[in-house]
Amino acid sequence: MDLSLFPQILLNGLMIGGIYALIASGFTLILGVIQVFNFAQGQFYMLGAFIAIAVVTNLGLPYPVAIIVALLATAILGALLYFAVIQWTTRSGFFNTMLVTVAFGTIVAQTAMLSFGSREAVLPPVVPGTLSLGGVTIPNGKLVVIAGAVVVMAALHFFMKTRIGVSMLAASENRDVASLQGINPKRVFWITMAVGCGLCGVAGALVAPVLAASGTMGSTIFIKALLVVLVGGTGSMSGALLAAFVVGIAESFAFHFVGHLGLLVIFVLVAILIFFRPGGLLGKPLPVPGE
Amino acid sequence: MKTGTDITKKLVFAVAVAVVLALPWMTGPYTTQLFILTMTYGMLGLSFAFTIRVGLPRFDSAAWWGVGAYTTAILMTKADMSFWLTLPIAGIVSMAVGFLIYRIAIPRGMMVFLMFGMVIALAIQQLFGSVEFFGGWGGTEVIEAPAIGGLVFDGKRELYYLGLGFLGFNLICYYALMRSRIGRSWNAIGQSVKLASSVGINVVRYRMANVLISNFFLALTGSFYMAFSLVAVPATFGLDKSLNVIMYVIIGGIAYSLLGPLVGALILAFVPEYMRVAAEYESIITAVVIILVVIFLPEGVLGWVSGRARPWLLRRRPWVRSVGSKNKEPESG
């Protein structure tokens, strides 16, 4: 093994892990609070990347503004998904609701393909140059992604401590008791959808200067986020955070050594983990709707 | 009066069978091809509707479909086997690999099963694409069409009847299984896992049996797919196909586990064909239709039809009621 590549692979793993952490925590948040399996999550990630690229290259605005625009746009779209579709389908069951999010994701993905084109797009590096650290060169762009992910996760952590965050947790604990305490479930639900989808939009905007954006980037990352949720335990936020970095680093190494079969290696590892630790690394299994 | 309805039912059934048998002689080769595809997708939908009876939504139907197709293709090209001999082997391979994976997933409940399914869907596709033995992303081909004696299944009509044979076998097996003792246990699990385990049903073992049987038939469908497409490409067996399979079932009506998938596949195969829209807009329109169906017809097209037709029949002919309620029982779950 070439030791000089080791820090590079580790850094890549940390970067991918940060992105997984954002998407997976958005996913577990929505699953835990509204009990909706949001399949459109990956498409919001793709949309975030394309919006960031469009804002920077077409409107000429600075990159931080692009991140905020991507966050707001995907959050609004997430709330729209709740108001237009999900609130009418939750009554007809967990499974039907999930299918509707699949369909909504398809609409988002196809519309994005038609309007942004199916070719790959990439932003010019925001912070060009490299950082030399003890003989190891690190591209600044990747550090920016990691830093951005950490900042967003910290913001999410403090958001969950605010009044609305606590009422989200209360609604996920027990919906009926929460509404008895004066929490408006509908308000909590649409805010949860907006936050969960906005997290994906930010993730997409963060990777736009580093990875090439394409119309199919959403569905692959969603499956990886599911792996993260499986490893972290369904319904556990801190478990998802830990698992995101574990999976990200493991994937980075696996892809370096076995190429595209890396996904299979990861899958086998996850299967072995689930076999011995059914609740994932940290989490307790979530009560499954309908069972 | 009862005999009257029996005769009507038999007549309707006979006419339906006659129409299905005569279809390839009434339409052109292109439409026949569409019907063959409908039957393939309908069989995939049947397998999905089968596991949903025990409360397990599977997102990997296309992956096991692909396992069947690839097993047949590789045995036919590399081991020079006849098509018919590969059928049971494909089924057994799919069951054996499935057993290893589901040993982990099924005891963990529905949510883990569901997520596992999606990951399997991606992993198996990657396996077929990345390993040289399976022919890579370009896929693997068979040259030889299946044949019995002098009858070669190479024309559209012959393939249509071959598909009809596969579909009939699927329907008969699923119907018999659903009516058997084990089928009643499955229904109990589907209604309430807690209740079923409290009356002494081993939920994990029964679910495993159900999923493995479904795997077997998915692989058979894959072998049939090889018979008419003659080429297996990894892109065919992706997660998007599994999602389409679920849409057939939802559109047809999820409570109708035998007729629902077929009706859904028929609608989704023919409606876009006759709407003549650009391919880019087709998936958007399908998605909008799915959302509208789930919001406005949560019981699917068949549920809507029977909800509409039954009161009308009841008003005109009160004696239909007993038959109607008898029919309803095995369908609802």
CB A35 within 8 A of CB A189: no
How far does the CA of residue B281 sit from the closest CA of chain A (Å)? 8
Q: How many domains does chain B have?
A: 1
Host H or E run for residue A132: strand A130-133
Report the C-alpha gap between B144 and B116 in whole angstroms.
Answer: 36
Q: Provide, as residue numbers in chain B, all residues whose Cβ is less than 8 Å from the Cβ of A113.
A: 280
Q: d(Cα B225, Cα B159) in Å, to the nearest integer?
A: 10
C-beta separation of A48 from A202 below 8 A: yes
Per the CB < 8 Å rule, is B280 touching A114? yes
Instruction: Identify whether the C-beta of residue A7 lies closer than 8 Å to the C-beta of residue A252.
Output: no
**Residues of chain A found within 8 Å of residue B112, distances taken between Cβ atoms:** 230, 234, 274, 278, 285
| Residue A267 to residue B123, Cβ atoms within 8 A | yes
Q: How far apart are CA A25 and CA A242, in angstroms?
A: 11
Taking an 8 Å cut-off on Cβ atoms, the answer to whether B119 and A286 are in contact is no
What does the block give as tokens for B294? 């789930």
- Collect all residues of chain B within an 8 Å Cβ-Cβ radius of residue A278: 107-108, 112
Write down the pLDDT at residue A113.
81
Q: Of A89, A285, A288, which is closest to B294 when you measure between CB atoms? A: A89
ipTM: 0.81
A225 touching chain B per CB within 8 A: no
Relative to beta strand A130-133, strand B147-148 is: unpaired
Give kind and range of the element (H or E) at residue A133: strand A130-133
CB contact under 8 A, A263 and B122: yes
Q: Please report, rounded to a whole number, the percentage of residues in chain B having pLDDT higher than 90.
A: 31
Interface contact A260-B130, CB threshold 8 A: yes
- When CB atoms are compared, the residue of B104, B111, B254 closest to A234 is B111
Rounded CA separation A78/A109 (Å)? 14
Distance CA A144, CA A209 (A): 10
Say whether pLDDT at B279 is over 80: no
| Phi/psi of residue A131, nearest 5 degrees | -115, 130
Contact flag B287-A107 (C-beta cutoff 8 Å): yes
**The two structure tokens encoding residue B90:** 């494909």
pLDDT at A1: 54
pLDDT greater than 90 at residue B170: yes
Contact A274 B246 (CB under 8 A): no
Question: Could you tell me which residues come within 8 angstroms of residue B57 by beta carbon, excluding any fewer than 6 positions away?
Answer: A95, B48, B51, B110, B113, B114, B117, B246
Domain that holds residue B37: 2-331
Which positions in chain B touch A93 (Cβ < 8 Å)? 298
Is pLDDT above 80 for B50? yes
Q: Contact at 8 Å (CB) between A215 and A118? A: yes
- A234 contacts in chain B (CB < 8 Å): 111-112, 115
Cα B249 to chain center, whole Å? 8
Phi-psi region of B80 (alpha: psi -120 to 50; beta: other; left: phi over 0): left
Across the interface, whether the CB atoms of A100 and B291 are under 8 A apart is answered yes
* Position B326 confidence tier, pLDDT thresholds 50, 70, 90: very low
Q: With contact defined as beta carbons under 8 Å apart, do B104 and B115 qualify?
A: no
Distances (CA, A) of A19 to A13, A147, A210, B3, B250: 10, 11, 12, 67, 33
Helix axes A94-116, A41-59, angle to 10 degrees: 20
- Which pair of tokens denotes residue A38? 């949001």
The whole-number pLDDT of residue B3 equals: 57
pLDDT reported for residue B314: 52
| Averaged pLDDT score across all residues of chain B | 84
Output the domain CATH number for residue B287.
1.10.3470
- Coil, strand, or helix at residue B124? helix
Separation of alpha carbons B64 and B222, rounded Å = 8
Q: What is the CA radius of gyration of chain B?
A: 20
pLDDT digits (tens, 9 = 90+) for B100-128: 989 888 888 888 888 888 888 888 888 88
CB contact under 8 A, A291 and B55: yes
Looking at the complex, report in whole angstroms how far the Cα of residue B290 sits from the nearest Cα belonging to chain A.
7
Mean pLDDT, contiguous 10-residue spans, chain A (291 residues): 74 90 90 88 91 86 90 94 89 84 89 76 73 73 87 90 87 82 87 94 90 80 87 75 89 82 82 77 54 43
SS3 A119: coil
For B55, residues 6+ apart whose C-beta sits below 8 A from its C-beta are A290, A291, B110, B189, B190, B193, B207
Measured distance CA(A132)–CA(A139) in Å, rounded: 9
Three-state DSSP at A127 gives coil
pLDDT in tens, B209-244: 999 999 999 999 999 999 888 888 888 888 888 888
DSSP class of A184 = -
pLDDT at B316: 47
Residue B309's contacts (CB-CB under 8 Å, 6 or more residues apart) are: none
Which of B110, B247, B294 minimises the CB distance to A291? B110
Q: Considering CB atoms only, which of A37, A271, A288 is closest to B104?
A: A271
Contact A100 B294 (CB under 8 A): yes
Contact B295 A89 (CB under 8 A): yes
What element of type H or E holds B147?
strand B147-148
CA–CA distance, B285 with A4 (Å, rounded to integer): 51
Q: Count chain A–chain B contacts defined by CB atoms under 8 A.
A: 117
